[in-house]
Structure formats: C-alpha cells, structure tokens
Amino acid sequence: MTGNRHSMPQDLPHRLDVIRSIEDAVRSEMEAHIERRNLWMPDDLGSADRELDEGRDEDLRLLRQRARGLPASVRVAVALNLLTEEGLPHFHRLIATHFPEGSAWREWNNMWTAEEDRHGCALRDYVRDARLFHMRVFEQEQYDYIAAGFDPEWEQDPYRLLAYTSLQERATQYAHANTGRLARDHEPTLQRVLAHLAGDESRHYQFYRSIFGVLLASDPDRALVSLLKVVVSFAMPGHAIGDFEAMSDVVARQGIFGTAQFHEIVVELLDYWKIGNMTGLGDDGARAQERLMKMPSRLERMIKAQEAKHEPRDFRFGFIGDETIRI
C-alpha cells in the first residue's frame, strides 16, 4: 500500500478493460439475483398505513415495552449496523466511479443501491418506533459520519473495490444475523427486521463473490494481489464514525463480528475461489497466493492473542444515555 489514497494503479486502463469485458457475467449474475431475491419494502415490516383504531397504538406500546429489555450491548450493535447502512451514499459513489452509463455494472449499482437503501429505512423506522436511542444524539453521529466522507486506501483500484464488497457483504450479514440472534428473546420484532437485512446481504454477497471469481479467472495475478491487499487491511465501513472503535469492540466482545468471524469468512472465500489450487501464476500472483493461504493461520494467532489479553472493559455511549456497559 502506498499510503497515498488518491494514487491509482499504473495499469488502470487494463483493469478497466477487464472490468468491461466481464459485463456478460455481471448481467447473468444480476438476472440470477433478481430470481432469488425477496423484494420486500420497509413498510412490510411495520406498516405506517395501519390506523390507530386498529390497534397500532397498542402495538407500539408493547414494542417499546419489549425494547426496554434489550441489553445495552445489543443497542450498540443496532446503532453500528444502522450507521453502516446509512453510509450507503459513499459506496454508491465508489462503485459508480469507473462504470459508464448504459453498462451492466451501472445497472447493478443502481439496483443494489435501491435494495440497500431499504435497510437504513427499515432499521431507522424500527429504532424510532421502539424509542431505542436518544435520536438527536444518534442523528448527530450519523451526520458527522456522512460529512466526514469515506475514502478507503484502495488507490482507485476497481479490483480492490470488488474484493472488498465480497468480504464486506458477508461481514454485514454476520453483523445483522448475530445481532438479531442476541435480540430474539427480548424483542422478536427487531430480530425479524434484522433477518430481512441479513437475507439481502447474503444475496448481495453471492453476487460479488461470483463476480470476483470471474475476475480471478480473467486476470488472476492482478486480482490475487488486489485481494491480498484487501484481506490484510480489512475493516468494516465506518472508520469515520466518532465512536467506531469502541462500538466495534463491543460487537466483537459480544461475538457479533470480530476477528473470529472474519477468519470464518476468509476461510470460506479462499475455499470457494479455490485460491490454493490456482496454477500458471506469475511471480506477483504466486506470492499473493502464498500469503493469502497463510491468512487463516495468521488470523488464528490473532484470535488467540486477543483471548489471552482479554479483560473486562467499560463503555459509554451518549445515544443510549451514557449507561455504562461492562463487557
């Protein structure tokens, strides 16, 4: 990594030619995605059309009563999940940078953005209805995050973007599903909302995983080098969130998403893409392949080191009223 996030690969024209050359695969995967998706709408999860005299006021009262029983750590996880989803404009921009109007890539990006946009809407509707946060405090955090921008050190490499989305969509699925699992016994409505989000993330993951597989077959050496750069420096989106490090620590300590879950994703993708079986590579590709195949062991050592150093820690967040969380 050069450290200059505004630099770009010298071979960028070649990479863009490859990206354009696999548009047929993009269109095919997009059609398969449309076939398997469940195009729900946020209102399906908690209708605003229901009249008060039909019991919506009582439903809301019961929802808020149940939500008061949610552990503070689960509230923090919901906050991080929602902030991450509300960062969608950053990702639309990053994906749109290299793809011209009329391309299959642009069509996918627009559809993917429309689907992802429902996530922030649905989760935001829930937290307002449930009175889960001090909303003014939370909204300030959200505003600051969006205003700060999201400019990862990808050197404008479209290969790294696609490698990142493959990993990140799976990681977001973990985050939503595991948060829902912890919420289920306290507030099943939240689990239902998060299950819908996790289902979408699973389908988006299938798309990006398949497309990066096509990229690996089309330009293996460059794709492997880009994949390695993403894996060794992976972080969930949201580094510009004010409380990001503390919130990430909470969700890791709760088993929602951390190094252990990332290890599972890396192992899964190395196996799916058959990275260890790739042959005919140049020197750069072979070196990247070797390092990638060592990543699971490296992550296992990191997990053991984290477990050995683990000590309870106190956390406080203004959006949940400065309640002390000790984990």
Q: Please choose, from the candidates 157, 159, 215, the residue with its C-alpha nearest in 3D space to the C-alpha of residue 26.
A: 215
The type of residue at 47 is S
pLDDT for 53 equals: 54
Residue 321 DSSP SS3: coil
- Alpha helix stretches (DSSP H) within 68-187: 72-86, 88-96, 104-130, 135-148, 158-183
CA distance 160 to 226: 5
* pLDDT per residue of the chain (327 residues) written in tens, 0 to 9: 333 445 667 899 999 999 999 999 999 999 999 999 989 999 999 877 665 556 678 889 999 999 999 999 999 999 999 999 988 888 888 888 777 778 999 999 999 999 999 999 999 999 999 999 999 999 999 999 889 887 777 768 999 999 999 999 999 999 999 999 999 999 999 999 999 999 999 999 999 999 999 999 999 999 999 999 999 999 887 777 889 999 999 999 999 999 999 999 999 999 999 999 999 999 999 999 999 999 999 999 999 999 999 999 999 999 999 789 999
Q: Domain 55-326: which CATH class?
A: mainly alpha
Q: Please choose, from the candidates 110, 126, 114, the residue with its C-alpha nearest in 3D space to the C-alpha of residue 44.
A: 126
The type of residue at 37 is R
- Domain positions in the chain are 55-326
316, 324 Cβ separation under 8 angstroms: yes
Q: Which residues pair with 325 in a beta bridge?
A: 315
208 CB contacts (<8 Å, ≥6 apart)?
A: 162, 165, 166, 169
Phi, psi of 110 (to 5 degrees): -65, -45
CA distance 79 to 124: 9
pLDDT for 3 equals: 39
Residue 314 DSSP SS3: strand
